[in-house]
Amino acid sequence: MGPEKEANEESVILISDDETDAETTLGNSVVVIESSENSDVEEKKSEEIVDEESGLVVTFCKKGMVMPHARYDCMTHPFERTENETCIPVEQNSEICGQCYCYVCDKLASECRYWTTSSSCHCNAHNKSKFWKDQRNITLTGVLVIFNLEPTEIDTDLRHGGELLFKFLRELSIQYNNYLSGEIVLSFQDCVCPSKQKPGQCSVCSQLQNEVIYRSWQNLGPSESLKLAVPFLMSRITKNLQRMLVLSDFPKQLYEKFISFFQTIPLPPYCFTFTNCLNVPSWDHRTLTTVLKGQNITGEQKKNGKKEFLWEVLTVIKARTEKMENMGQWCVMCPLAF
């Protein structure tokens, strides 16, 4: 007997049209009888005992779909964590699968320009390193990272403002570098002889040429010195910022972060008075609310046994009056008139 005939004998098919056979076959006209040995083999192949005590058995297993993931979470290629290695790829960190993402750029690793670039090496980035976290925030938020903003807090308007700020900083940096480099002054003066030779080539002029002294001066006025000019400029800047905080409807979290950032700016000693000039109470401030409603005409209120006073500069008061006029809140404006 050949192998094909043996395979056919493993299962037997009974076909019957007799009524007597219906009782034995439980009403089925076709009965398939399979070999017990094959069924045992199939059960062994499809079942895997995981825990005998609890009776946990895996009856079916299918390889899952690989979803997009950061490089350090890749199950295909091992990843070696380092703190701030940016010179060369560490171990096999540069190897990627089709779903590996760059942690810094937040896009496919195959599209990252700095994946293996020296001094960058984004392939070594991971979420356990403070250095790489800062790099990710800088990449996602741009120049707005100086305000300690999270990527989720940045909308379209903020991102556009960040682009304008970056453009301004770049132009300012160019101007400042030109100022530091100064202006190169030629040591030789133009020839005053009839021959009109190039500077330094006339023997007559070089003999008669005296040392030239260059002088510079400033117009007399408030800007004659930096100690006077800078406070004037800071005063103009802070007044505009105070009006912006009052007239614009910033989210509370962004409002507080902007004020905190301004307080961290290093100012020269003659500008220390501007450090807290942006501590403008928001519209929902408790003391300010009671004053605007006429419930508190002194601006004084106790908190935890300590007295608090509401004090605002004239620029802020004018800005509040302007906004309430535009909103038609005439009743609320009455306390500000006193």
The answer to whether residue 208 sits within a structural domain is no
For the residues 157-181, what does the mean pLDDT come to? 82
Q: Is the pLDDT of residue 239 over 90?
A: yes
Q: Do residues 232 and 276 share a domain?
A: yes
Number of domains in the chain: 4
Highest mean pLDDT among 30-39, 152-161, 174-183: 152-161
Edge-to-edge strand list for the sheet holding 107-108: 69-70, 100-102, 107-108
Q: Do residues 250 and 319 share a domain?
A: yes
For residue 153, what pLDDT is reported?
A: 81
Q: Do residues 254 and 166 share a domain?
A: no
Note the pLDDT tens digit of each residue in 186-230.
555 566 666 666 666 666 665 555 544 444 555 555 556 777 888
Q: Do residues 230 and 323 share a domain?
A: yes
The answer to whether residue 210 sits within a structural domain is no
For residue 214, what pLDDT is reported?
A: 46
Instruction: Give CA 266 to chain center in angstroms.
Output: 23
The amino acid sitting at 75 is M
Last residue of a domain, one of 203, 237, 265: 203
Mean pLDDT value across the chain: 76
Q: Are strands 69-70 and 100-102 parallel, antiparallel or unpaired?
A: parallel
The answer to whether residue 214 sits within a structural domain is no
Task: Please tell me the least confidently modeled range out of 179-188, 239-248, 301-310.
Answer: 179-188
For residue 252, what pLDDT is reported?
A: 84
* Closest-CA residue to 191 (of 206, 175, 170, 211): 206
> Percent of the chain scored above 70 by pLDDT?
69
For residue 242, what pLDDT is reported?
A: 93
Q: Do residues 113 and 177 share a domain?
A: no
The answer to whether residue 295 sits within a structural domain is yes
The amino acid sitting at 56 is L
Q: Do residues 286 and 254 share a domain?
A: yes
The answer to whether residue 288 sits within a structural domain is yes
Last residue of a domain, one of 137, 169, 203: 203
The answer to whether residue 227 sits within a structural domain is yes
For the residues 23-36, what does the mean pLDDT come to? 52
What is the residue range of 168's domain? 158-203
The amino acid sitting at 305 is G
Q: Do residues 100 and 26 share a domain?
A: no
- In DSSP terms, 111 is beta-bridged to none
Cβ atoms of 247 and 323 closer than 8 Å: yes
Residue 203 CA: distances (Å) to CA of 186, 190, 210, 248: 17, 12, 13, 70
The answer to whether residue 46 sits within a structural domain is yes
Q: Do residues 232 and 332 share a domain?
A: yes
Q: Is the pLDDT of residue 3 over 80?
A: no
Q: Do residues 241 and 296 share a domain?
A: yes
Cβ atoms of 109 and 102 closer than 8 Å: yes
Q: Do residues 141 and 164 share a domain?
A: no
For the beta carbon of residue 87, count every other beta carbon within 10 angstroms: 10
The answer to whether residue 44 sits within a structural domain is yes
Q: What is the rounded CA–CA span in Å between residue 219 and residue 224?
A: 7
Q: Is the pLDDT of residue 19 over 60?
A: no
Q: Do residues 171 and 131 share a domain?
A: no
Last residue of a domain, one of 119, 152, 185: 152
Q: Do residues 262 and 319 share a domain?
A: yes
Cβ atoms of 265 and 274 closer than 8 Å: no
Exposure class string for 272-295: b at 16+ Cβ within 10 A, else e: eebeebbebbeeeeebbebbbeee
> Percent of the chain scored above 90 by pLDDT?
14
